[in-house]
Amino acid sequence: MPTSVAGAIDFHPLRPRPEADAIEIVDQTRLPHEWLTVRIATADEAAHAIRTMQVRGAPLIGATAAYGLALALRADASDANLGAARAQLLATRPTAVNLRWALDRCVRAVESLPPSARAAAAWREADAIAAEDVTTNRAIGEHGLRLIEHLAAHTQPVQILTHCNAGALATLAFGTATAPIYLAHEAGITVHVWVSETRPRLQGAKLTTWELRARGVPHTLIVDAAGAALMRQGRVDIVLVGADRVAANGDVCNKIGTYEKALAAKDNGVPFYAAVPSTTIDWTIADGAGIPIEERAADEVLLLGGDASIAPPGTAVANPAFDVTPARLLTGIITERGVCAPGKLRTLFPE
């Protein structure tokens, strides 16, 4: 397991291995204890990796699905298998729209080709999706860096709160919410990150701390409920989160608990930004009410860390994995094309 990561992309949550007809992913369910790579050679295996959250995070889910489709076409490039593989991969997780976006992009790239040309074309498309994610996140980082620089002119360390993992592990590199943090750190700005643990699956505690540590970014782990108190005490200068799907009006769907942080930020005058690649914007949905929210298993809540029971047997559980933060609670959205008011996404991405 790498303990020190210098530069931009020294660890890879996903590596294409075309010579082996496969991709290699890092099993994120094993972090922070073990850096275990898993070979994915079929669409079934790609679907399993997404469903079980060996890979997770909206952009990484999308790229994994794209390669999964290419692998399916290597085995059988018929129209029937193209449709079946798309449906199988799309059914793995409902909320992150990058999944549908990546699959549809690959389908469009291959459907008019003869079957013999489809697998290679799909693989090229998956490579392009992966490469574009790196440049997109770098651009998000640069736009977000301006916000941190502005804060740093008045106070250092700049105190940043983030939720879940919208980091390098959730993408092909840099992360979205973490990209401005990494660039600020590399630029010599003193930053400190409050990492909320992110019950129930603990992506903040397990993953965000892991990658911030790997890059040497100072950080402190907090329980989810501590964020609002820290904001009230004036110990947070900016909140930076990612997104799984953003509606056309700028409502932001992200990991459960994001909405509470946004409410607390609004009440305390703390700027609150979502870092969002355009691949996460769902223009077909007018507002957040139309976003499907994944409901996950009760055991994630009943069993702390996967094994220690914390409630009487049979206790009823609700486990929505995501929530929607209304656009009015956001200060802005950071995209690869710049920062805009949440209701003004079309000014950056005209039809």
Count residues near ligand MRU (CB under 6 A).
Answer: 18
* Cβ-proximal residue to ligand MRU, closest one: 242
Does 58 help bind ligand MRU (rule: CB under 6 A)? yes
Does 279 help bind ligand MRU (rule: CB under 6 A)? no
- Nearest distance from C-beta of residue 96 to ligand MRU, angstroms: 6
User: Concatenated DSSP letters for 39-81?
Assistant: EE-SHHHHHHHHHTTSS-SHHHHHHHHHHHHHHHHHH--SHHH
CA 103 – CA 86 distance, rounded (Å): 6
Position among 43, 56, 118, 181 found at the interface with ligand MRU (CB under 6 A): 56
CB 227 within 8 A of CB 161: yes
Q: Minimal CA–CA distance to 82: which of 95, 71, 73?
A: 73
Cα dist from 249 to 120, 258, 283, 333, 344, whole Å = 37, 18, 9, 11, 8
Does 170 help bind ligand MRU (rule: CB under 6 A)? yes
Centroid of chain to Cα 152: 26
Does 203 help bind ligand MRU (rule: CB under 6 A)? yes
CB 172 within 8 A of CB 63: yes
Does 164 help bind ligand MRU (rule: CB under 6 A)? yes
- Nearest distance from C-beta of residue 274 to ligand MRU, angstroms: 9
- Our answer to whether residue 237 is catalytic in this structure is no
Site string for ligand MRU, 321-350 (x = CB under 6 A): x-----------------------------
- Nearest distance from C-beta of residue 251 to ligand MRU, angstroms: 15
Q: Which tokens is 42 given?
A: 């079929």
Does 245 help bind ligand MRU (rule: CB under 6 A)? no
According to CB under 6 A, which residues from 60 to 99 bind ligand MRU? 96
End-to-end CA distance of the chain: give it in Å, rounded: 44
- Which run of H or of E encompasses 267? helix 258-268
Q: Which of 244, 251, 282, 323 is catalytic?
A: 244
**Which residues are tagged catalytic?**
244
Contacting positions for ligand MRU (CB under 6 A): 56-59, 96, 164, 166, 170-171, 175-176, 203, 242-244, 254-255, 321
